[in-house]
Amino acid sequence: MIPENDFVLRPFDEKDYEGFVSLKNLLYPDHPGSVANLRHNDKTREKKIRHRNWVWEMDGKILTSAIHTQFAESFHPQRFVIEIYVHPEFQGKGYGAACYDHLLQKLEKFDPIKITCIVHEPHKRGIRFFQDRGFVQTMKEKESSLDLTGYDPEQYQDEVDRVLMQNLRIMTLAEFRQEDADADHKVWELERDVSPDMPWTDPISIPEFNVYKQHVLAHPKFNPDSWFLVLDGNHIVGLNNLWKSEIERGINTGLTGVRREYRRKGVATALKHTCITWAMNQGYEWIRTDNVATNTGMLSINIRVGFKFMPAWLVYEKIIREEE
C-alpha cells in the first residue's frame, strides 16, 4: 500500500522534461532518451492522438509517471497505449497500481476497446503487474546487436554486387535529394507501400506526408546520410535507415522495407550490409536492431551477419470489449 505522503498525480508541464527523462533513463539505462527527442515528439504529435502524462514528484524529483497515448501508425480512436514509470526505490509499494487506476479512470470517457503496453523482458515485476490485471502477451520484439569491430565488409561484397548487377542503384537519401526534388515524398510513398506488411498487433498505416515530414524527417536523430535506398531508375524499391543513439559509439537500425515485387532479390540483404559498412566507416562500434519474433526473414539476415540477441520487448494487450 502507498504510504501516506501526499501522493497526487499532476499533469506534466514544461518544467518536467529533465526530471521525466532522468526517471526513464534510470529505468532503461541501455536505452537512454533525451529532452530534445521528447520535446520533438510532443511538438509533432498529431492532434487526434489522445496523449496525456501525469507525474508525481517529491522534493523536486519526479518519482512516478502515468501516460496514456495512442500509436500514430496504427491509430484507432478507441485503442490506447499506457506507460507507467516508477522509481526503483518506490516499486512494489502500490505506486504503480495507483498510476494504473488513475489511467483507467481517465480513459473511461473514451470508451476504450483495447489497452496495450510494452514491457522490457528483464522487468519481471512489470510483467507480473500487467499479467495480474488481465493483460496477455501478443507479440515479442527481439532486439539484437552487432559488434562492428569484427565486421568485414569484403566478406559480404558479393551480396551488394548481386543487387547492382540487376541494374539497381544504391544511394543515400542525401544523394537522392540532389537529383530528385521529390525524394522525401518518394521515401514516404515507399513506407506507405510496405507498411501493410509490417508485422504488428494491428494494421500499420503511415500518417499523411505533412505529418511524416515533420515527425520523421525533422527528427533530432534523423540523418539523410544514414538513410540508404535501392532504386530502379528513380523509383525507390527498398529502404534501410539508421538513427543516432544517445549512447556514444552506437547507432540504431530503423525500418528495413522492400516493395513486394522486388523481394527475394537480395535487396534487403544488400541494404543491411551497406548500412553496416557505413556505420563501421563512421567509427561506430555497434549497431542495434529490433525485429518482431515472427519476422523470420529479417531475423535470418541479421543472424547470418552476426547479430547477437539482447533482452526482448514484450507487447501485452487487454481487450476491454470486442470491436463492433
Say what the pLDDT of residue 295 is.
87
Residue 1 confidence (pLDDT): 56
Q: Which pLDDT value is given to residue 199?
A: 87
Query: Which residue in 32, 3, 23 sits closest to 88, CA to CA?
Result: 23
Predicted confidence band of residue 186 (pLDDT cuts 50, 70, 90)? very high
- Residue 297: which pLDDT band, with cuts at 50, 70 and 90? confident
The grid coordinates listed for 233 are 531508375
Does pTM surpass 0.75? yes
Q: Is the pLDDT of residue 3 over 80?
A: no
**CA–CA dist 308, 302 (Å, integer):** 9
For the chain, give the number of residues: 324
Q: Cell numbers at residue 168, please?
A: 539497381
Q: Alpha helices, DSSP H only, in the chain?
A: 17-27, 35-44, 95-107, 124-131, 157-164, 173-179, 183-194, 209-215, 267-281, 296-305
C-alpha cell of residue 183: 525524394
Give me the pLDDT at residue 93, please: 92
In the prediction, which pLDDT does 232 show? 97
* Mean pLDDT across the chain: 95
The 10s digit of each residue's pLDDT in 235-286 is 999 999 999 999 989 999 999 999 999 999 999 999 999 999 999 999 999 9
- Domains along the chain with CATH numbers: 10-112 (3.40.630.30), 144-309 (3.40.630.30)
Identify whether the C-beta of residue 239 lies closer than 8 Å to the C-beta of residue 257: yes
Q: Please report, rounded to a whole number, the percentage of residues in the chain having pLDDT higher than 70.
A: 98
pLDDT of residue 323: 76
Using pLDDT thresholds of 50, 70 and 90, give the confidence band for residue 6. Answer: confident
Query: What's the angle, vertex CA 92, arms to CA 318 and CA 102, rounded to 5?
Result: 50
132 φ, ψ (degrees, to nearest 5): -65, -20
User: What is the C-alpha separation between 90 and 1, in angstroms, rounded?
Assistant: 11
Residue 5's pLDDT band, with cuts at 50, 70 and 90, is low
| Residue 124 exposed, middle or buried by CB count within 10 Å (0-12, 13-18, 19+) | exposed
Read off the pLDDT of residues 142-178 as tens digits, 9 standing for 90 and up.
Answer: 999 999 999 999 999 999 999 999 999 999 999 999 9
